[in-house]
């Protein structure tokens, strides 16, 4: 009873918390789309922002593997400012060697995605990197879904993402042509199941496809192109792929 009384008194003293104000700071998520790149942990300057859980008491040597998204695809909060964003090797060999360094300025209240991209150079132990802003729609329609395209394939020409509704058969371009290391705008679509394809500008040939992708109402998605455009195998890990990651 005394504990309950103390708890009630504490609640009364503090009053109601205001949770309506927007969260401060910037938000960022991390992708390892560098073909053949080792697993990495992501850093801002010397502060680690992603890691893989370990049951041994020691840091995991796995890191975010190729094709993976750090922190389960969640945004990480970070104070606004200027940073050097890094992907550092998680394995015991070359532990904490930075394979990518990218200077970036993160603005309060904005969201970002940081990508390792292109091809990992095993000699220089480096890989490409870029960052894009995730500019969410201010007048959000919760009865629809929003989709945008990010191009992370270094040997691919500018691509256009197409989405074909499997129920209606309607196909639309989700924005215009997107070059390597760039992102298209978020495009509003009816929620549903879609077959996705990426084509070079001016072509009707699908160079990357992915079928039966579900887009839910009230959600925002990024479709990221990764891999090697010269690979024709349908099972190789480095084949061209369309990744689907929910932004929110």
Is the pLDDT reported for residue 77 higher than 80? Answer: yes
Q: Which domain holds residue 99?
A: 24-134
Structure tokens, 2: 């005394």
What phi and psi, each to the nearest 5 degrees, are found at residue 108? -55, 135
Task: Go through 37-48 and write b for each residue having 16 or more CB atoms within 10 A of its CB, e for each that does not.
Answer: bbbbbbbbeeee
Asked if 126 and 47 sit in the same domain, the reply is: yes
- pLDDT averaged over every residue in the chain: 90
**Band of the pLDDT at 23, cuts 50, 70, 90?**
low
Beta carbons of 186 and 147 less than 8 angstroms apart: yes
Is the pLDDT reported for residue 54 higher than 60? Answer: yes
Residue among 98, 186, 108, 205 at smallest CA distance from 148: 186
pLDDT of residue 35: 98
Answer with the one of 114, 134, 154 that is the final residue of a domain. 134
| 17: in domain | no
Whole-angstrom CA distances from 13 to 2, 19, 131, 134 are 16, 17, 45, 40
| 241: in domain | yes
Instruction: Assign residue 59 the CATH number of its domain.
Output: 2.60.40
**Band of the pLDDT at 165, cuts 50, 70, 90?**
very high
| 6: in domain | no
| 16: in domain | no
């Amino acid at each position: 009873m005394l504990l309950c009384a103390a708890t009630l008194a504490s609640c009364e003293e503090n009053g109601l918390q205001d949770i309506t104000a927007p969260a401060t700071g910037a938000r960022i998520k991390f992708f390892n789309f560098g073909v053949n790149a080792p697993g990495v942990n992501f850093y801002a300057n010397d502060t680690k922002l992603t890691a893989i859980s370990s049951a041994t008491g020691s840091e995991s040597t796995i890191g975010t593997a190729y094709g993976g998204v750090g922190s389960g695809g969640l945004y990480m909060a970070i104070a606004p400012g200027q940073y050097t964003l890094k992907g550092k090797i998680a394995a015991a060999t070359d532990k904490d060697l930075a394979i990518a360094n990218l200077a970036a300025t993160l603005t309060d209240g904005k969201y970002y995605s940081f990508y390792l991209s292109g091809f990992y150079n095993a000699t220089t132990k480096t890989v490409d990197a870029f960052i894009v802003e995730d500019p969410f729609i201010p007048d959000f329609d919760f009865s629809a879904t929003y989709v945008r395209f990010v191009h992370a394939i270094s040997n691919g020409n500018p691509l256009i993402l197409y989405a074909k509704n499997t129920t209606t058969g309607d196909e639309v371009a989700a924005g215009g042509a997107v070059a390597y290391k760039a992102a298209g705008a978020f495009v509003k679509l009816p929620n549903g199941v879609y077959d996705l394809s990426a084509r070079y500008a001016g072509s009707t040939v699908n160079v990357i496809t992915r079928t039966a992708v579900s887009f839910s109402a009230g959600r925002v998605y990024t479709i990221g192109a990764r891999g090697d455009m010269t690979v024709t195998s349908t099972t190789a890990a480095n084949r061209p792929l369309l990744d689907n990651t929910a932004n929110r």
